[in-house]
Amino acid sequence: MATVLCAVALVAAVLLPSAQPVAAQDLGSRIVAVRASQKTAEAAMRAQDRVILSLTIQRKAATRQLKPLQRVAKQAAGELEVVKRVLAERKSRLAEKEALWTGAAADPPTEWKSRLESIRKEIRIAETRKANIAARARAAERAARAKKAQIEGLKRQRKVAVGRRESAEASLSAYIAQMTQLARLKIAEQANVSLAEGGTYSWPTTGRISQPYGCTGVVFNPRRGSCKHFHDGIDVVDGYGTPIRAVAAGVVSYIGWNPYDQEGRAYVIDVVHADGYVSRYGHLIPTDLVKAGDLVYTGQIIGKMGSTGKSTGTHLHFEILRDGRDIDPVSVLPAGVVQVDKSSTKAGLAELRREARATPKPKKPKKTPPPATPFPFAKKAKVATCDEGAATDPRSGAVQCDPSGLFAAAALDGPPDAPLPYRGTQIATN
């Protein structure tokens, strides 16, 4: 009996410690398998995205080419109607003239014959032109029909590609749900208490909030409830390549192109946390800093800020999901870390207006009086005026304007007929 008990204890000692590593190994292999399935479904989705984009471009180009063909066909049809009317009129005139000729005389005049031959010539020209225009109209109609058929074919191909893309999107969403469940199992296995119990959330990046959670005027966002456009996260603006950090410890459930967009996909990362919340980081630069199934800790750099997808500039689109539904991320993040752009909300704009009204306007500075003169009773310098009899040019004998007598003694300065310099000027004197 003792021997049997010893044997059982030995088997238990060998098998029971190995039970946990085997389970962990099985979980790791399942994570690797689901990660590979995610990548396959994502590649199929992206391939169909490229096919749809190519078909859309081809269809738009064919539509642009169809319009001139339709214009040519319409113009040719109009010209053909005109030629038909002219031809009918010429034939009616010819019949009228021939009846008049037949009943007039057995031998009609030469003028009548010439006129009839002229009408017959016009009829031949009109019939030739009618044939040419009809051929051009038929060619334009054939080209237009062929272009329409091409457009319809492209539409059918695009419909098939859309169906394949939707199938790939559904598969990818299913694999993301599987990875989310595996991530929760992986979190539950961790011995780290802080990881198992979650913890305080931190901000994912630096910058300012350019678009808050809720109703917005940005047309990219879909309708929800009474909101014409609803933003399901917050947008934080900063420089291109700014580090994006995990807001709390958790497990990455997906990293890749967003399967929830249809056109203009953004690069996103989803992280599952111990409290059941999921944090989502969008518009990132495609990187391989982490991969699905990886454990991440609070503040770990998991990506870089970019502008992929439907984006008007570099920013981070950040969401918090609880039970699959988005909530306001600011409600679980610490306050006062990231600056909120007040102009992005109606309440913020109203607050800015109130602050502007409350702020006193700066007073205009008073005019500084000119400095007092040190000699208040000093007289201004007089300006001497030109008196015709004040001086005589000693060289020519003519009366010159030289009120200060500067040139009175210049008898030998220049030839006799040379005029005095500065003639006609006013000279300031004290």
Give the start-end residues of each E strand in 95-138. none
Q: Clarify whether residues 89 and 62 are in a common domain.
A: yes
Q: Clarify whether residues 212 and 338 are in a common domain.
A: yes
pLDDT score of 190: 77
Please state the rounded mean pLDDT for residues 129-133.
86
HSE (side-chain half, CA atoms, 13 Å) at 216: 18
> Are 183 and 195 contacting, i.e. CB atoms less than 8 angstroms apart?
no
Q: Clarify whether residues 152 and 139 are in a common domain.
A: yes
Q: Is the pLDDT of residue 312 over 70?
A: yes
Give domain status of residue 88, yes or no: yes
Query: For residue 119, what is the enclosing H or E element?
Result: helix 110-189
pLDDT band at 303 (very low <50, low <70, confident <90, very high): very high
Question: Which residues contact residue 76 at a Cβ distance below 8 angstroms, ignoring those fewer than 6 apart?
Answer: 133, 134, 136, 137, 140
Q: Lowest-pLDDT range, 20-29, 54-63, 285-294, 413-422?
A: 413-422
Query: For residue 139, what is the enclosing H or E element?
Result: helix 110-189
Q: What is the pLDDT of residues 23-36, one digit of tens each?
A: 556 888 999 999 99
For 6, the token pair is: 């010893």
Q: What does the mean pLDDT of the chain come to?
A: 76
Please state the rounded mean pLDDT for residues 257-265.
80
Give domain status of residue 9, yes or no: no
Rounded to whole angstroms, the Cα distance separating 160 from 228 reads 31
Give domain status of residue 364, yes or no: no
Q: Is the pLDDT of residue 198 over 70?
A: no
Q: Clarify whether residues 99 and 228 are in a common domain.
A: no
Q: What is the CATH number of the domain that holds 171?
A: 1.10.287.620
Q: Clarify whether residues 176 and 209 are in a common domain.
A: no
Please state the rounded mean pLDDT for residues 407-424.
43
The closest of 224, 212, 252, 172 to 349, measured between CA atoms, is 212
Rounded to whole angstroms, the Cα distance separating 391 from 407 reads 9
Higher pLDDT, 161 or 421: 161
Q: Please, where are the H alpha helices in 317-371? A: 346-358
Give domain status of residue 30, yes or no: yes
Higher pLDDT, 416 or 156: 156
Q: Is the pLDDT of residue 48 over 80?
A: yes
Q: Lowest-pLDDT range, 29-43, 245-259, 275-289, 390-404?
A: 390-404
Please state the rounded mean pLDDT for residues 302-312.
88
pLDDT score of 430: 38
Please state the rounded mean pLDDT for residues 392-413.
49
Q: Is the pLDDT of residue 149 over 90?
A: yes
- Sign of dihedral through CA atoms 169, 175, 176, 181? positive
Grouping H, G, I as helix, E, B as strand and the rest as coil, residue 192 is coil
Q: Under the phi-then-psi rule, with left for phi > 0, alpha for psi from -120 to 50, and beta for the rest, what region is 368?
A: beta
pLDDT score of 349: 63
Q: Clarify whether residues 279 and 174 are in a common domain.
A: no
Q: Clarify whether residues 40 and 167 are in a common domain.
A: yes
pLDDT score of 410: 44
Q: What letter does residue 363 receive in the DSSP assignment?
A: P
Grouping H, G, I as helix, E, B as strand and the rest as coil, residue 296 is strand
374-411 residues labelled b (16+ CB within 10 A) or e (exposed): eeeeeeeeeeeeeeeebbebebeeeebbbbeeebeeee
Give domain status of residue 409, yes or no: yes
> Are 393 and 417 contacting, i.e. CB atoms less than 8 angstroms apart?
no
The Cβ of residue 268 has, within 10 Å, a number of other Cβ atoms equal to 23
Q: Is the pLDDT of residue 253 over 90?
A: yes
Q: How many domains does the chain have?
A: 3
Rounded to whole angstroms, the Cα distance separating 200 from 277 reads 12
pLDDT band at 170 (very low <50, low <70, confident <90, very high): very high
Give domain status of residue 14, yes or no: no
Q: What distance lies between CA 124 and its chain's CA centroid?
A: 61
Q: Clarify whether residues 162 and 301 are in a common domain.
A: no
Claim: this prediction has a pTM higher than 0.85: no
The closest of 77, 299, 67 to 205, measured between CA atoms, is 299
Domain extent, residue 302, equals: 194-358
pLDDT score of 334: 81
Q: Is the pLDDT of residue 265 over 60?
A: yes
Q: What distance lies between CA 106 and its chain's CA centroid?
A: 86
Q: Clarify whether residues 291 and 203 are in a common domain.
A: yes
Distances (CA, A) of 68 to 3, 44, 134, 307, 328: 98, 37, 18, 38, 52
pLDDT score of 254: 93
pLDDT score of 180: 92
Rounded to whole angstroms, the Cα distance separating 231 from 213 reads 5
Among candidate residues 137, 172, 189, the one where a domain is terminated: 189
Among candidate residues 189, 222, 243, the one where a domain is terminated: 189
pLDDT score of 9: 43
Q: Clarify whether residues 380 and 407 are in a common domain.
A: yes
235-248 residues labelled b (16+ CB within 10 A) or e (exposed): bbbbeeebbbbbbb
Give domain status of residue 57, yes or no: yes
Q: Clarify whether residues 170 and 199 are in a common domain.
A: no
Give domain status of residue 78, yes or no: yes
Give the 3-state DSSP-derived string for 224-283, with helices as H, strands as E and coil as C.
Answer: ECCECCEECCEEEECCCCCEEECCCCEEEEEEEECCCCCCCCCEEEEEEECCCEEEEEEC
Q: What is the pLDDT of residues 115-125, one digit of tens each?
A: 878 888 888 88
Please state the rounded mean pLDDT for residues 132-153.
90
For 164, the token pair is: 């394949």
Among candidate residues 358, 391, 412, the one where a domain is terminated: 358
Q: Is the pLDDT of residue 39 over 60?
A: yes
Q: What is the CATH number of the domain that holds 287?
A: 2.70.70.10
Q: Clarify whether residues 207 and 283 are in a common domain.
A: yes
For 9, the token pair is: 């204890």
Rounded to whole angstroms, the Cα distance separating 28 from 34 reads 10
| Percent of the chain topping pLDDT 70 | 69
Q: Is the pLDDT of residue 161 over 60?
A: yes
The closest of 354, 156, 185 to 253, measured between CA atoms, is 185
The Cβ of residue 295 has, within 10 Å, a number of other Cβ atoms equal to 17
For 106, the token pair is: 């057995």
Q: Is the pLDDT of residue 300 over 50?
A: yes
pLDDT score of 140: 87
Please state the rounded mean pLDDT for residues 342-368.
67
Q: What is the pLDDT of residues 60-114, one digit of tens each?
A: 999 998 888 888 888 888 888 888 888 888 888 888 877 776 655 556 667 777 8
User: Rounded to the nearest 5 degrees, what angle is found at the Cα of 188, between the Cα atoms of 182 and 193?
Assistant: 145
Torsion of CA 176, 179, 184, 188, to 10 degrees: -170
